């Protein structure tokens, strides 16, 4: 997969800090920009430590994600407080085979051979339907969950914290877990205070919602 942080709120940690200061200050909103960097940094660290994360909804981050499976994006769009723009199988001709191979299949020579042969047969039938003038919107019905897709995703920082708790977990599905970890490393570079403790719940909150005591990350 390819993942790139293509945009984010300017000063993604300053704006949430200003919003937090506003709630406990007589200062007018338009005057908050005059606050010192040191004061705003201290305010943000305090609200994050207290779990008062509503203010970080003022910061958002946009990712360009390509060569992931439709299986992944079916999981991704369940995160409802986000904006999505996905490559359409209705309007885009996908005549060239392009699909994700799960690691457990890739590591077995015989399994991979059978998998690749199945995919080749699927795309053969897909292209046959197109040749018969079947619309792409109907022909796509034979394409598998493994078919690659591209998507642009925008989430605010609070939604991302929730996303990382669920999808960075060792028990999340492998592909979306890999995506979540890549996204987390990118946002940490531009908003280190907000995402300092971001990650699975065992890291962010010291609990295991899954109750999986055999997990190496299970809180001691």
Q: How far is the C-alpha of 147 from the C-alpha of 206, rounded, in Å?
A: 37
Dihedrals phi, psi of 156, to nearest 5 degrees: -80, 165
Question: What are the contacts of 137-142 at 24+ separation with CB within 8 A?
Answer: 137/89, 137/90, 140/89, 140/90, 140/94
Residues 149, 73: contact at Cβ < 8 Å?
Answer: yes
In angstroms, the first-to-last Cα distance of the chain is 34
Interior CA angle at 182 toward 140 and 101, to 5°?
Answer: 40
Q: Which residues pair with 99 in a beta bridge?
A: 147
Catalytic residue among 70, 167, 177, 205: 167
177 catalytic? Reply is: no
Q: How far is the C-alpha of 21 from the C-alpha of 84, rounded, in Å?
A: 31
Residues 161, 171: contact at Cβ < 8 Å?
Answer: no
- By annotation, the residues acting in catalysis are 167
């Amino acid at each position: 997969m390819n993942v790139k942080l293509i945009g984010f709120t300017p000063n993604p940690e300053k704006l949430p800090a200003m919003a937090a200061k506003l709630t406990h200050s007589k200062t007018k909103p338009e005057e908050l920009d005059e606050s010192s960097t040191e004061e705003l940094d201290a305010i943000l660290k305090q609200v994050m430590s207290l779990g008062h994360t509503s203010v970080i909804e003022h910061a958002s981050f946009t990712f360009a994600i390509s060569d992931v499976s439709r299986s992944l994006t079916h999981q991704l769009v369940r995160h409802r407080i986000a904006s999505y723009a996905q490559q359409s199988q209705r309007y885009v001709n996908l005549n060239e085979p392009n699909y994700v191979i799960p690691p457990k299949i890739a590591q077995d020579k015989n399994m991979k051979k059978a998998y690749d042969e199945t995919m080749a047969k699927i795309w053969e039938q897909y292209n046959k339907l197109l040749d018969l003038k079947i619309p792409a919107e109907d022909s796509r019905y034979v394409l598998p969950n493994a078919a690659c897709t591209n998507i642009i995703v925008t989430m605010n920082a609070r939604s991302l914290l929730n996303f990382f708790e669920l999808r960075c977990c060792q028990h999340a599905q492998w592909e979306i877990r890999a995506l979540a970890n890549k996204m987390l490393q990118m946002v940490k570079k531009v908003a280190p205070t907000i995402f300092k403790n971001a990650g699975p719940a065992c890291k962010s909150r010291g609990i295991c919602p899954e109750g999986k005591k055999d997990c190496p990350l299970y809180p001691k």
